[in-house]
């Protein structure tokens, strides 16, 4: 029996995609084998990879002067790859600190460049985003990095920073949840295991003017120039993840594209936040102007009831609701593949739990 899986990542995938994977597992397009058993150097996989790249470009409306790279090492790898590819040693790079993923990006960047923290939301316990006007890039800065959606804190920027330096966004937990005006960015990157595919890859969308700056010591597999020249196949790529990404992109196109998906995501998030806000028993600490559509953390008024809440949820087929180990409480991740029916089932369970135990 399929459950409603609220995991923050790896995350639930569309059932139609899983069924297609299952149907093609023993015989992909008459090859007599699965995609993951075939050579990445063969014509079939190369053609498949090109089709997936084109479909992703069409879905996200990525302009022609941007390159799309498929790299290993997840988004965490990109925390290092970004400064190694875009900044000279000792050059200033700007970062906004809105929570735990920003912090990790910052500590990696500090190994390679001079990090300036432009804004730090610690004063609100990372429940806010900075005012748009307060974000200004430093003179000579190689780039300006921010985290549009903090997966752990459930904080999401309601605006796109307007700065002089090339804008770099860690879209790991919000990519493909709605349209993105790609041309406002220098680099968009994201790990695949939330809204795109299984784990194993990061997608990097980079303006071509930012290529050609990689420092010589950059590992070849994270060197944007080399990977661009080699169609992201300098070494063996995670072919299965790439293939599933292609199926998810096709599924999104069939759903009507990112505008449609955005409407659904907004409605799901609104329903869940409304349920939390109208109750005295559940609480979400994030400022209302920057609540995430994708990751909804919440606490119970009595934390002693947490384990009972989780056990009851699991019995009702609602799983992976525990908050990140660093913060506790609950977190419902409601990515693209989570249907409204799953959110409704959670809301009903929460109401019933409050009625009987609150
Ligand atoms: N950035 C954000 C916003 C994330 O949520 C995560 C993973 N949860 C990462 C970076 C790290 O990504 P990965 O695990 O793919 O390396």
Instruction: Report DSSP state, residue 34.
Output: -
Q: Quote the pLDDT of residue 186.
A: 98
Closest CA to 170 of 78, 237, 94, 108: 78
Q: What is the pTM of this model?
A: 0.98
| Closest ligand 1 atom to 79 CA | 10
Atom 15 in ligand 1: which residue has the minimum CA distance? Answer: 74
CA of 350 to the centre of ligand 1 (A): 28
- Here the tokens at position 18 are 């899983």
Pocket test for ligand 1, best of 7, 71, 74, 190 (most atoms within 8 A of CB): 74
Ligand 1, CB cutoff 6 Å, lining residues: 9, 74-76, 101, 147, 151, 170, 172-173, 191
Nearest 5°: CA angle at 80, between 59 and 41? 55
Q: Quote the pLDDT of residue 328.
A: 87
Atom 10 in ligand 1: which residue has the minimum CA distance? Answer: 75
CA of 75 to the centre of ligand 1 (A): 5
- Here the tokens at position 268 are 């799901």
103 given a catalytic annotation: no
Atom 12 in ligand 1: which residue has the minimum CA distance? Answer: 75
| 3-class SS letters over 74-113 | HHHHHHHHHHHHHCCCCCEEEEEECCHHHHHHHHHHCCCC
Query: How large is the angle between the packed helices 74-86 and 100-109, nearest 10 degrees?
Result: 40
Length of the chain: 358
Closest CA to 270 of 352, 334, 178, 185: 334
The set of residues, in sequence order, having a beta carbon less than 8 Å from that of 250 and lying 6+ positions away, is 55
194 given a catalytic annotation: yes
Q: Would you call 207 helix, strand, or coil by DSSP?
A: strand
| Closest ligand 1 atom to 202 CA | 15
CB 118 within 8 A of CB 136: yes
| Closest ligand 1 atom to 8 CA | 8
CA of 189 to the centre of ligand 1 (A): 10
CB 161 within 8 A of CB 146: yes
Closest CA to 265 of 239, 295, 302: 295
222 given a catalytic annotation: no
| Closest ligand 1 atom to 151 CA | 5
Q: Give CA–CA dist 272/334, Å, rounded.
A: 10
Q: Quote the pLDDT of residue 326.
A: 84
Catalytic hit among 38, 94, 103, 170: 170
CA of 316 to the centre of ligand 1 (A): 29
CA 336 to chain CA centroid, Å, is: 11
Residue 247: count of CB within 10 angstroms of its CB: 20
Strand pairing category for 114-120 and 92-97: parallel
Closest CA to 67 of 262, 253, 223, 243: 223
Pocket test for ligand 1, best of 98, 173, 176, 198 (most atoms within 8 A of CB): 173
Q: Quote the pLDDT of residue 214.
A: 97
Q: Quote the pLDDT of residue 327.
A: 85
Tens of pLDDT, residue by residue, the chain (358 residues): 899 999 999 999 999 999 999 999 999 999 999 999 999 999 999 999 999 999 999 999 999 999 999 999 999 999 999 999 999 999 999 999 999 999 999 999 999 999 999 999 999 999 999 999 999 999 999 999 999 999 999 999 999 999 999 999 999 999 999 999 999 999 999 999 999 999 999 999 999 999 999 999 999 999 999 999 999 999 999 999 999 999 999 999 999 999 999 999 999 999 999 999 999 999 999 999 999 999 999 999 999 999 999 999 999 999 999 998 888 899 999 999 999 999 999 999 999 999 999 8
Q: Give CA–CA dist 156/153, Å, rounded.
A: 9
Q: Quote the pLDDT of residue 358.
A: 81
- Here the tokens at position 322 are 């525990």
Q: Quote the pLDDT of residue 283.
A: 97
CA of 9 to the centre of ligand 1 (A): 8
Q: Give CA–CA dist 172/77, Å, rounded.
A: 12
CA of 79 to the centre of ligand 1 (A): 9
Catalytic hit among 38, 94, 103, 194: 194
Q: Measured between alpha carbons, how far is residue 184 from residues 33, 103, 167, 169, 347 in Å?
A: 42, 23, 7, 10, 37
- Here the tokens at position 319 are 């799983």
């Amino acid at each position: 029996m399929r459950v409603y899986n609220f995991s923050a990542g790896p995350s639930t995938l569309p059932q139609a995609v899983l069924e297609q994977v299952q149907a093609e597992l023993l015989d992909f397009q008459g090859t007599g084998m699965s995609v993951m058993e075939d050579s990445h150097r063969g014509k079939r996989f190369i053609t498949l990879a090109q089709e997936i790249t084109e479909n992703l470009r069409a879905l996200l409306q990525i302009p022609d002067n941007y390159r799309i790279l498929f790299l290993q090492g997840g988004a965490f790898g990109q925390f290092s790859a970004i400064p190694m590819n875009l900044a000279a040693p000792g050059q200033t790079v700007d970062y906004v600190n809105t929570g735990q993923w920003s912090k990790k990006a910052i500590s990696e960047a500090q190994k390679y460049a001079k990090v300036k923290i432009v804004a730090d939301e610690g004063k609100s316990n990372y429940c806010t985003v900075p005012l748009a006007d307060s974000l200004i890039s430093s003179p000579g800065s190689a780039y300006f990095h921010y985290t549009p959606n903090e997966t752990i804190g459930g904080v999401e920027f309601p605006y796109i920073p307007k700065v002089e330096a090339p804008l770099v966004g860690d879209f790991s937990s919000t990519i493909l949840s709605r349209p993105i005006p790609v041309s406002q960015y220098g680099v968009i990157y994201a790990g695949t295991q939330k809204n795109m595919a299984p784990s194993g890859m990061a997608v990097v969308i980079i303006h071509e003017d930012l290529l050609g700056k990689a420092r010589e010591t950059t590992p070849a597999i994270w060197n944007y120039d080399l990977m661009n020249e080699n169609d992201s196949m300098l070494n063996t790529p995670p072919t299965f993840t790439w293939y599933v990404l292609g199926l998810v992109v096709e599924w999104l196109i069939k759903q009507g594209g990112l505008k449609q998906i955005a409407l659904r995501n907004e409605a799901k998030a609104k329903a869940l936040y409304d349920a939390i806000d109208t109750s005295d028993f559940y609480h979400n600490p994030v400022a209302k102007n920057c609540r995430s559509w994708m990751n909804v953390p919440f606490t119970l008024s009595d934390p002693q009831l947490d384990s009972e809440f989780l056990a009851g949820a699991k019995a009702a087929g609602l799983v992976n609701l525990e908050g990140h180990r660093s913060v506790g409480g609950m977190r419902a991740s409601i990515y693209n593949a989570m249907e409204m029916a799953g959110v409704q089932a959670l809301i009903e369970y929460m109401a019933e739990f409050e009625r009987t135990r609150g």
